[in-house]
Amino acid sequence: MDSILVLYSLVAATSAYLLWFYLLARKLTGPKVWPLLGSTPSLFMNRRRIHDWIAGNLGATAGAATYQTCTIAIPFLARKQGFYTVTCHPKNIEHILRTRFHNYPKGPTWQTAFHDLLGQGIFNSDGETWLIQRKTAALEFTTRTLRQAMARWVNRTIKTRLWRILEKASEDKVPVDLQDLLLRLTFDNICGLTFGKDPETLSLELPENLFSIAFDSATEATLQRLLWPGFLWRLKKIFGIGAEMILRKSLAVVENYMTEALNARIETPSDDLLSRFMKKRDVDGNLFPSSVLKRIALNFVLAGRDTSSVALSWFFWLVMNHHHIEQKIINEISTVLAETRGQDRWKWIEEPLNFDEADRLVYLKAALAETLRLYPSVPEDFKYVISDDVLPDGTRVPRGSIVTYSIYSVGRMKTIWGEDSMEFKPERWLSSSEDRFEPPKDVYKFVAFNGGPRTCLGKDLAYLQMKSVASAVLLRFRLSLVPGHRVEQKMSLTLFMKNGLKVYLYPRGLMASGVSNAFVSSHNLARAT
């Protein structure tokens, strides 16, 4: 009898909750809410196009924006009775990232999931722990020596590796996966800049690197924790099964590699970030211990690899589909090099652009910014709500809930960017005379590099690296997508191309300056022999 009573009570409580949930959800803006299931059916059906689905629900793909904040209802599975707040309203984003910054930290869910990989590093910490690292990093990122170090790594990987791989592929008439090459290039660069150790993943043989493989596996396994309730992945961790077993093995490889890198820096300090942090002190005035230094370094590797390579992949794809923009980029590069290297056009392609030359490429920077508007490397970001709050557009967010701001959707809003918001148009970033780069006056209309106190410290270095790589490729080669290759978004926290970017390469030489392809090829052959 008691068991029947308990069963009836459970059924009654569940039924009451679901009825309450359904009646409340009907009043919300956002995707259709079904009895018992909430928005789960729509979420499941759109799981392979989640960013466009969110943009549609926020009004970014409508004739005119219907609303810029919505609630996704997922009963039982979500925090605070199953309601997620999602916004792309610039005023809301400014409120979250700047005005009430301290009310919207990373939060316990994110920090706990990423702790094994990133520890209390700058991208996985809040409060004083974050602040001391932020201040230290901010001082270092403004130094010219770090800029010069980055320039050396970038030019080295372009000249001795990337060019050789692309030239061989062009000569052999075989396609390459440009996204994979760019990931390898930025990984080598950021590892060199961060702890002075070159993993050499970019080379003609395209070798497998144990640290790179383990780092990727650890990142993927860590991301899976966000897809499951906390108690489930903790159980898997205790028993060492599934993704948690992969994570443990991968972290062991990463730990050994980082220990070797740290020991090398202790013996021979350099101008890399790890050497610089070894001299700094924590919130208690003590030098950072080895365990923390290794996690700090890994945080920079995670942030510095994927973002630039992913942005460059989408940039090259867009340029391939907009030849008039490609030609304007080539013309700008040619004009700058004529001024810095003279009229001997072979000098233009003997060395990659240095950072001072890259600084002058205004139209190329506009094209990269336009790429990030349409295809931000991190399409969605999440914040935890400490105290009950009301966003500027009137949306109430309860404490303990999660607020998502959709960077992907912001870049598609017609109310922000105009009727041509879906067009690839670098000119929207230029002054009326087209000689200056001019971002929007409201900086929270473009948050591909975050905003407020957590604005990306490496923003300028990222632009310079991307401009150097883009110039190095486009000045030498014309790209063509492999017939039948499908360019699709991978549904992850970073906007990778699901199938890579497979392209054929054709020698461009200096066609924009009237030099024939055949002459360029013969010149390259003569230099090689």
Question: What SS3 class is residue 438?
Answer: coil
Structural domain includes residue 441: no
Asked if the model's pLDDT at residue 62 lies above 60, the reply is: no
In the beta sheet, which residues pair with residue 390?
Answer: 396
In a domain, 179, yes or no: yes
Geometric angle at alpha carbon 268, from 264 and 274, rounded to 5°: 65
The domain total for the chain is: 1
- Single out the residue of 139, 188, 110, 201 nearest to residue 469, CA to CA: 188
Instruction: Output the domain CATH number for residue 245.
Output: 1.10.630.10
Q: What is the CA radius of gyration of the chain?
A: 25
pLDDT digits (tens, 9 = 90+) for 235-248: 899 999 999 999 99
Contact of 17 with 458, CB cutoff 8 Å: no
pLDDT computed for residue 82 by the predictor: 54
- Segment 250-269 shows an average pLDDT of 91
Q: What is the mean pLDDT of residues 68-82?
A: 64
75 occurs within a structural domain: no
> Which of the residue ranges 93-107, 132-146, 411-425 would you say has the lowest mean pLDDT?
132-146
| Of 57-71, 266-280, 281-295, 329-343, the least confident | 57-71
Other Cβ atoms less than 10 A from the Cβ of 148: the count is: 12
Report the 10 Å Cβ neighbour count for 9: 10
Q: Taking 50 as the threshold, does the pLDDT of residue 520 lie above it?
A: no
Query: What are the angstrom distances between the C-alpha of 169 and each of 163, 173, 182?
Result: 10, 6, 15
Work out the pLDDT band at 65, boundaries 50, 70, 90: very low
Give the Cα separation of 374 and 438 in Å (integer): 17
Q: Which tokens in the block code for residue 431?
A: 């002054």
Percent of the chain residues past pLDDT 70, beyond the cut: 84
Q: What is the mean pLDDT of residues 334-340?
A: 95
Nearest to 120 by CA among 304, 302, 238, 293: 293
Mean pLDDT of the 378-398 span: 92
- In terms of C-beta density within 10 A (0-12 exposed, 13-18 middle, 19 or more buried), how is residue 501 classed? buried
pLDDT digits (tens, 9 = 90+) for 271-307: 788 988 898 887 788 888 998 899 989 988 888 888 8
Question: Does the pLDDT at position 525 exceed 50?
Answer: no
Block residue for tokens 């919505």: 70
Q: What is the mean pLDDT of residues 214-232?
A: 83
Interior angle at CA 335, CA 349 and CA 155, nearest 5: 35
83: which strand partners? 73
Would the pLDDT of 95 be above 50? yes
Assigned domain for 416 exists: no
pLDDT of residue 471: 97
**Average pLDDT along the chain:** 85
Question: Using CA of residue 131, residue 465, residue 166, residue 501, what is the dihedral sign?
Answer: positive
Domain contains 417: no
Looking at the predicted structure, is the pLDDT value of residue 103 above 90? Answer: yes
Query: Parallel, antiparallel, or unpaired: how do β-strands 83-87 and 402-406 relate?
Result: parallel
Distance CA 329, CA 349 (A): 15
The band of 225, judged by pLDDT with boundaries at 50, 70 and 90, is: confident
Q: Does any domain span residue 198? A: yes
Nearest to 424 by CA among 279, 290, 317: 317
Does residue 513 have a pLDDT over 70? Answer: no
**303 falls within a domain:** yes
Rounded distance, CA 444 to CA 450, Å?
9
Q: Do 28 and 73 form a contact (C-beta atoms < 8 A)?
A: yes
Give the pLDDT mean for 171-190: 96
Lowest model confidence (mean pLDDT) among 75-89, 116-130, 420-434: 75-89
* Whether pLDDT at 17 is above 80: no
Q: What is the pLDDT of residue 16?
A: 59
In this prediction, residue 127 has a pLDDT band, given cuts at 50, 70 and 90, of confident
pLDDT band for position 528 (50/70/90)? Answer: very low
Residue 390 has pLDDT above 60, yes or no: yes
Q: Give 281's DSSP letter.
A: B
* pLDDT score, position 66: 53
d(CA 381, CA 118): 17
pLDDT at 8 over 70: no
pLDDT higher at 249 or 12: 249
What pLDDT, on the 0 to 100 scale, is given for residue 323?
96
CA–centroid distance for 415 within its chain: 25
Residue with tokens 């959707």, as numbered in its chain:
409
Q: Which amino acid is at 454?
A: R
Q: 73-82, 419-428, 464-473: lowest mean pLDDT where?
A: 73-82
Confidence (pTM) = 0.87
Q: Are 474 and 466 in contact (CB under 8 A)?
A: no
For residue 433, give the amino acid letter: S
Q: What is the pLDDT of residue 522?
A: 37
- 214 with 222: CB under 8 angstroms? no
Instruction: Give the integer Cα–Cα distance in Å for 399 and 77.
Output: 17
Lowest-confidence segment of 91-100, 205-214, 472-481 by average pLDDT: 205-214
Stretch 344-352: mean pLDDT = 85
Structure tokens that stand for 329 in this block:
């980029």
Do the beta carbons of residue 300 and residue 190 sit within 8 Å? yes
The tokens for 370 are: 């336009």
**CA 87/CA 70 separation, integer angstroms:** 6
Instruction: Confirm whether residue 456 is marked as ligand binding.
Output: yes
Give CA–CA dist 274/262, Å, rounded. 8
What angle in degrees, to the nearest 10, is found between the helix axes of 290-320 and 323-341? 120
Tell me whether residue 138 is in a domain.
yes
State yes or no: pLDDT of 157 exceeds 90: yes
pLDDT tens digit string along 298-333?
A: 988 888 888 899 999 999 999 999 999 999 999 999
Residue 319's domain comprises 117-378+448-528
Q: CB–CB of 188/202 below 8 Å?
A: yes
